[in-house]
Amino acid sequence: MNNDFNIIRLKETESTNTYAKALLKQGELSAPFALVFADNQTKGRGRLGRTWESREGDTLCMSLVAPFPFKPAVTLLSALAVHQTLTEICKEIKEDLKIKWPNDIVIKNKKLCGILTESTDKAAVIGIGINLNSTSFSDEITSKATSLKLLTDKEFDAFDISQKIAENLVNLLKKSNGEFTDSAHKEYTSLCINLGREVICGDKKGIATGIDKCGSLIIKTEDTTEKISSGEVFISGIY
């Protein structure tokens, strides 16, 4: 038990998000914040119903439970806290670490980390997956994924990093009360690679021009301005 959050470390589970949600349902968490970490995940879940690929020792799999149900900013704040942690532990790549809306951490247009935020009536479950020591990926994602090992030629300890992320994220969530504050908005905007680029979301295509105060992506299409609050946004030429 850390001062601010419970820590639950598992050898293996299907999905740390699924595990955390089950604990919440059973009323089994004694602190407002909790870190659920697994050395291995057998059925990792990604955004929009996708699966999340992971291998023991190669991939960091964690979920942070936070007492903020249904706050849309939580997912963007999570990307900021992961970004902050990765810049602290990997100073050599910090200039190149960016965020792809809403919450992928990317470097040189490749994905390093994905975040799946799920809300229950009591809390947010923020699931974070980071490619740490991977040196290869499945055919499906190999062209768009990278890892800290491939970028730095170093090995990383997933449990250690998960605790640093949890500390930074708990601090940020407490400080902002789960809201997209002006300073979070400014920082997020400065890191978001979508801005100024052509993006495609369903049948909408246009230039991403900003992030609004609720965290939605603003897109200027040929004849209108649209706000996208969730879903898949492709950046032309990237992913």
Quick check: 43 and 51 in contact, CB under 8 A? Answer: yes
Of the residues 21, 47, 110, 185, which one makes contact with ligand BTN according to CB under 6 A: 47
Residue 26's contacts (CB-CB under 8 Å, 6 or more residues apart) are none
Contacting range for ligand BTN; rule: CB under 6 A; set: 123-131, 133-141, 199-207, 219-227: 123-131
Residue 230's contacts (CB-CB under 8 Å, 6 or more residues apart) are 102
Q: Which is nearer to ligand BTN, 75 or 176 (CB)?
A: 75
Q: Which is nearer to ligand BTN, 107 or 116 (CB)?
A: 116
Burial class of 196 by CB neighbour count within 10 A (0 to 12, 13 to 18, 19+): exposed
Q: Is 46 in the site for ligand BTN (CB under 6 A)?
A: yes
Cα 166 from Cα 160, distance rounded (Å)? 10
Of the residues 23, 71, 100, 129, which one makes contact with ligand BTN according to CB under 6 A: 129
Cα 77 from Cα 95, distance rounded (Å)? 19
Q: Is 194 in the site for ligand BTN (CB under 6 A)?
A: no
Q: Is 215 in the site for ligand BTN (CB under 6 A)?
A: no
The closest of 11, 110, 114, 131 to 60, measured between CA atoms, is 131
Show the site string, 3-22: x = touches ligand BTN by CB under 6 A, - = not.
------------xxx-----
Q: Where along the sequence are the contacts to ligand BTN (CB under 6 A)?
A: 15-17, 44-47, 50, 52, 61-63, 104, 114-116, 127-129
